[in-house]
Amino acid sequence: MKQTFVIGPALAAFAIMGAAPGTLAADREVHIAGFGAKSGVVRSFGVNTEAMMRAAAEHINNSGGVKLGDGSMGKIVVSFYDDRCNAEEGISVVRRIAGTKAIVGVGPTCSNVAEPLFGILQKKTGDGKDTGLQFPIFTDTAIKGGLAKISEWAFRNVPNENEMYQSLFKWLRKTHPNLKTVYGGVEQDFAHSRFTWHKVMKVRAPQAGYKVLGEAKWLLADTNFTTQVRKLKKAKADIIAISAHPFTTCGVLKEMKRQRVKYKLLVGLTSSSSMETLQGCAKQAEGIIIPTSFAPVTPAAKVAAKLGAKYKGSADLHSAAAWENMIVLKGVIESMGVMAKPDTLKADRRKIRDGLAKLSKTGGLLGTITRTKEGEAIKPYLYVHAKDGNWAVLHDPGK
């Protein structure tokens, strides 16, 4: 029977209590490895994830550390690896991590890494015939739907975009009843953005009563969008939904401004609700609405954002998930009696896996997160919009 580990109140209290510097010396080190894109156009995601992981580790250590199975205290040590948002590199990085003292991996950034990576993990625990890697991965960022079911060693703390965009389009229909049509723009060669347009936005918009007039496609490394934007302009849609990451989102928005494309509303991809979008094209992105599972609106969220900034990272829906992962892992380490000794490494990794699998609810920075038996998460979310160069909360569907 699935046990409930409710870490919510602990998480909130933990996050807002002041860090007590120089507390009890830890007896042993507990190694957690992070990995993500630290180079390339999505580098900001890896940088932010690492910052939040290190901030969370410092916070945990300054509060006394993590209690190990034999009652001694452990200090969390974070290492971070660059997978370059490349599948082969990601697999190579995880195999390398599996050869270290790390008891769990937090990552990856990119869905095109996560999918093949989960494929090399052992599919079902205890299957002696499956020689797949037995190493738990707790994903913070790679958001393409339904990946955790690939392996029982894979777990994700990523928002459910299906639900978010379903709710968003329904809300938009209610609040803007005069808007009837949607036109999509999609980064076609990136797993996340492609999935989110074709399987989420394009499905949920008609269900909310919108007519999808078409879609314009481009590639992640594209720099010329004149043809695509002209197609978009001709469609004269009320809402333009851009399923792309900050680099091409900004390129398209700038081209839309040049071609004086008229629209009533802009909807963006979850991953574009980041500072990178505003740094690249704040003016052109003004008013874009994006559903997100993070905004610094709760005391815990504000503390996490402030501590992450110390490590030169910014808190957004992805990096905040990395913080949440660290807090959840602290809870799992303590509840499962992880020993963090060299000769218990294999057993510790199994305990982490089993502990994560047992969770049905955890605390998050915005509220309680429900965990599914497939290893996925159902997270609370808000709608934010770009306003005067910042992200501001537009609506909280939970209220």
Partner 1 sequence: MSQFDRLLSGVWTWIFGDLSLLDLVQTVTDGLLFGATYAIIGTGFALIFGVMHKINLAYAASSIAGAYISIAFASLVPLPAIVVFLLAAAASGAVGYLIYLTCFRFIPTSSPLATLMATVGMLILIDEVIVHETNGMPQPYPALFDSVMIEWGDFGLRGDLLFIFGLSVVATIALVAFLYRTRLGVATRAVAQQPVAAQLCGISVPRTNGTTFIMAGLLGGLAGAMTGAAVGTLSPLLTLPLTVKGLIVTVIGGLGSIPGAIVAGLLVGMFENLALAVRDVQERDLYVMLLLFLFLWFRPLGIFGKSSARD
If one asks whether residue 259 binds partner 1 (CB under 8 A), the answer comes out as yes
Instruction: Cis check for the bond before 108: say yes or no (omega within 30 of 0).
Output: yes
Choose the binding region for partner 1 from 9-17, 20-28, 251-259, 295-303 (rule: CB under 8 A): 251-259
Angle, nearest 10°, between helix axes 8-16 and 299-310? 50
Considering the complex, what minimum distance in angstroms separates the CB of residue 351 from partner 1?
A: 36
Q: From its phi and psi, is residue 102 left (phi > 0), alpha (psi between -120 and 50) or beta?
A: beta
Other C-beta atoms within 10 Å of 274: how many? 24
| Of residues 338, 316, 317, 320, the one with CA closest to residue 329 | 338
Query: What residues numbered 102-161 form the site for partner 1, per CB under 8 A?
Result: none
Q: From its phi and psi, is residue 40 left (phi > 0), alpha (psi between -120 and 50) or beta?
A: left
Q: How far is CA 242 from the centre of its chain?
A: 18
The residue (of 84 and 330) whose beta carbon lies closer to partner 1 is 84
If one asks whether residue 254 binds partner 1 (CB under 8 A), the answer comes out as yes
Task: Report H helices in the chain.
Answer: 8-16, 43-62, 87-98, 111-119, 161-175, 191-195, 202-207, 226-235, 246-258, 275-281, 299-310, 317-336, 345-358
| The pair of three-digit structure tokens given for residue 340, joined into one six-digit string | 């963090």
If one asks whether residue 227 binds partner 1 (CB under 8 A), the answer comes out as yes
Q: How far is CA 223 from the centre of its chain?
A: 26
The only residue of 2, 221, 310, 390 in contact with partner 1, by rule CB under 8 A: 221
Choose the binding region for partner 1 from 69-77, 256-264, 301-309, 329-337 (rule: CB under 8 A): 256-264
Location of structure tokens 């594209």:
222
The only residue of 58, 222, 354, 374 in contact with partner 1, by rule CB under 8 A: 222
The residue (of 189 and 374) whose beta carbon lies closer to partner 1 is 189
Considering the complex, what minimum distance in angstroms separates the CB of residue 335 from partner 1?
A: 38
Which residues 6+ apart lie within 8 Å of 127 measured at CB? none
The only residue of 96, 174, 258, 306 in contact with partner 1, by rule CB under 8 A: 258
The residue (of 45 and 118) whose beta carbon lies closer to partner 1 is 45
The only residue of 250, 261, 305, 377 in contact with partner 1, by rule CB under 8 A: 250
Considering the complex, what minimum distance in angstroms separates the CB of residue 109 from partner 1?
A: 12
Choose the binding region for partner 1 from 134-142, 171-179, 257-265, 295-303 (rule: CB under 8 A): 257-265
The only residue of 27, 58, 163, 189 in contact with partner 1, by rule CB under 8 A: 189
The only residue of 116, 219, 262, 287 in contact with partner 1, by rule CB under 8 A: 219
Query: What residues numbered 30-59 form the site for partner 1, per CB under 8 A?
Result: 38-41, 43-44, 47
Longest Cα–Cα distance of the chain, Å, equals 68
Residues found near partner 1 in the complex (CB under 8 A): 38-41, 43-44, 47, 188-189, 217-224, 226-228, 230-231, 247, 250-251, 254, 257-260, 280
